[in-house]
Chains A and B, each alone.
Chain A
Amino acid sequence: MRGVNIFANPQAKWLGVALIAIALIGLPFALASVGTAWVRIANLAILFVFLSLGLNIVVGFAGLLDLGYIAFYAVGAYVYALLASPHFNLHLPFWVILPIGALVACLFGVLLGAPTLKLRGDYLAIVTLGFGEIVRIFLNNLSQPVNITNGPQGISRIDPFRFGAFSFSQSESVLGLVFSGPIKYYYLLLLLLLLAIVVNLRLQHSRIGRAWEAVREDEIAARAMGINTTGIKLLAFAMGASFGGMAGGMFAAIQGFISPESFVLVESVMVLSMVVLGGMGNIWGVVLGAVLLSFVPELLRYTVEPLQKALFGRSIIEPEVIRMLLFGLALVLMMLYRPAGLLPSAVRKRELTKAATE
């Protein structure tokens, strides 16, 4: 938690934390009063925070540009879909599948990383980009000769999360409060997210985290200090991938339907924009970036669209396009004017600004 001591007074700090906690607990009900769609958006935002945290391990901590990150998300999602849907008639419980998904994604991470991590940064970016495309092409085509992925149609009727009779997809009312499916998911996701953030915070200042930082700053010096650079980079890849796999499993369960369409290159770029906007290497920055880039486009969707209709009588710029233009602009403008992100990590800031003025 170093670097976020906004409140010098520890009591004030705890007060702040308590306020944020209350806001987060109350949020889904406030959103539900506007529309259930907003709760779903909040859930997707949490998934994106999850993904961004995973990518941050690779890009932020270890300094490796991974442009095929969404492939791990896809792997996790498909593992979940295959093990919990009528497609193979398997219905394993989610607490069994999520770790399997993370593990399989991790395996893919190692598979990709092992031959390529020796490469220089920009080559790595291209290879990972290619890897993302390969995974998508396979998902699209592995419906023959044995139907594994069901091709472009995707897999539907995926099981929701379930604890015995308690299903996360049904509404329930407790003490007069209506807990709709998305709201229940919200709390579960929030819990998992907190766990992920704690893991990330612990990781960052651990021996491994410091080794990543060393490799990122100066690989040769790091090797001279006795760090197994290839091993440590591979670890970053594997860890990042397992976060992606976890998030993918949750995505499959919440949506109930997945297809290769959801895992295109643009999605990788989106997650990257979130990491870059918030601040590569800073966990709270990344969280902020992911939340901002999840909500702002949706807000725009609900404001710009009616505004255009009112002004011109029709929608000239689709919200989806605005969203992507926003992501692109975020990437370019951040790199040009604030390369270390909105909430820069201390080390990263020093590195990026010093190098830029050299």
Chain B
Amino acid sequence: MDIFLQQIINGLTLGSVYAVVALGYTMVYGIIQLINFAHGEVVMIGAMVAFSVITALAGTALPPVLIVFAGILAAVPVCMLLGYAMERIAYRPLRGAPRLAPLITAIGISIILQHMALLVWSRNPLAFPQIIPLASFEVGGAIITGVQIAIILTSVVMMGGLTLLVYRTKLGIAMRATSQNPQVAGLMGIDIDRIIAFTFIVGAALGAVAGVMVGTYYGIAHYSMGSLLGLKAFSAAVLGGIGNLAGAMLGGILLGIVEALAAGYIGDLTNNVFGSNYQDVFAFLVLIAVLVFRPSGLLGERVGDRA
């Protein structure tokens, strides 16, 4: 079953990217019950910034790993700033408003970011320079590339780091307290505004790294790449149980694998009536199915885990 194993590997790679993006959605949702529609655009901006840096450095004699690292180092602060600005300008003033209001601003922000990116980086897809040697390894009949290994490892490190941050630091305690009850947390001396802004910033930083990962994986960045990716990651967050960190990770990886398997087998299963060009549909089908049958998601009941 080498196709099976291959699709699992591909799914795992894509899934860990979804998981990292989904963490951004789930953290924000957990703390202020807002779907940050523009999070996908943050990921896109991350990929774009990294693209610029990597292209600029591609001609130099620096080792490829260092160049990619420089890309990440540039993308992360830009996205953190973006996340902070977004929260301050578009969400904080609307915190007491009806739910429809911040959703609508979020869509507006996302459209604005997309077209700003279009202005800066042109409307054509940007090809990342091929600097990373295409090393690949054979595992039981399937092939895993160096990029895939790097993506999976990076994701694991980030998820681990975030878990430590949320469960082992004072800041994490403050975040969890705010998510459970903002008023009481405020009375306990927690500066809620700062914690919420911080949540956005951490989410955006994760998004930036995810952007670099997607960019290097597909070798392409595009101004409109964020919306579909964001939607899938959101589906992943819902699948795992929105507001739940472990859920987002599980949901992301599951969704990635489901998508990869579906793309690999749909042709055979439906006698080639449907091909792998329907790949993007599965995330939504999963989303709708979860919302209809188990709106709290796979791990949604452990409300205490929200961060």
Cβ of A331 and Cβ of B107 under 8 Å apart? yes
* Residues on the B chain within 8 Å of A141, using CB: 274-275, 277-278
Q: Give the chain B neighbours of A118 by CB distance below 8 A.
A: 292
Chain B residues with a Cβ closer than 8 Å to the other chain, count: 48
Do A317 and B119 touch across chains, with their CB atoms under 8 A apart?
Answer: yes
Please pick, from B99, B234, B280, the residue contacting A133 in the complex, using a CB distance under 8 A.
B280
Digit string of A334-358 for contact with B (CB within 8 Å is 1, else 0)? 1110010000000000011001111
- Which residues of chain A in 113-149 are interfacial with respect to chain B, using CB atoms and an 8 Å cutoff? 115-116, 118-119, 121-123, 125-127, 129-131, 133-134, 137-138, 140-141, 144-145
Kindly list chain A residues whose C-beta atoms are within 8 Å of the C-beta of B272. 145
Chain B CB within 8 A of A324 CB: yes
- A residues within 8 A CB of B280? 133, 137
A198 within 8 A of B: no
Q: Which residues of B contact A317 (CB under 8 A)?
A: 119
State the CA gap A357–B93 with chains docked (Å): 10
Could you mark each residue 263-276 of chain B with 1 if its beta carbon is under 8 Å from any beta carbon of chain A, else 0? 00000000011110
The distance from the CB of B111 to the nearest CB of chain A, in whole angstroms, is 4
Give complex CA distance A317, B115 in Å: 10
Stretch of B74-82, B248-256, B283-291, B298-306 at the chain-chain interface: B283-291
A116, B292: Cβ atoms under 8 Å?
yes
Measured CA separation A82–B277 after assembly (Å):
23
Instruction: Give the shortest distance, in Å, between B71 (CB) and chain A (any CB).
Output: 26
Q: In the complex, are the beta carbons of B94 and A335 less than 8 A apart?
A: yes
Contact A336 B114 (CB under 8 A): no
What is the chain B residue whose CB lies nearest that of A330?
Answer: B108
A321 contact from B99, B105, B118, B275, Cβ within 8 A: B118
Q: How far is the CB of A353 from chain B (nearest CB, A)?
A: 10
In the complex, A265 has a CB within 8 A of chain B: yes
Over the window 92-126 of chain A, the binary record of Cβ atoms lying under 8 Å from chain B Cβ atoms (1 yes, 0 no) is: 00000000000000000000000110110111011
- In angstroms, Cα B281 to Cα A138, docked, is 9
The answer, yes or no, to whether B161 is at the interface (CB within 8 Å) is no
Residues of B within 8 A of A145 (CB): 272-273
Q: Are A126 and B231 in contact (CB under 8 A)?
A: yes
Q: Across the interface, which residues of A come within 8 angstroms of B56, CB to CB?
A: none
Interface residues of A (CB under 8 A from B): 59, 63, 65, 67, 115-116, 118-119, 121-123, 125-127, 129-131, 133-134, 137-138, 140-141, 144-145, 265-266, 269, 272-273, 276, 317, 321, 324-325, 327-332, 334-336, 339, 351-352, 355-358
Residues of B within 8 A of A (CB): 34-35, 89-90, 93-94, 96-105, 107-112, 114-116, 118-119, 227-228, 231, 234-235, 238, 272-275, 277-278, 280-281, 283-284, 287-288, 291-292, 295
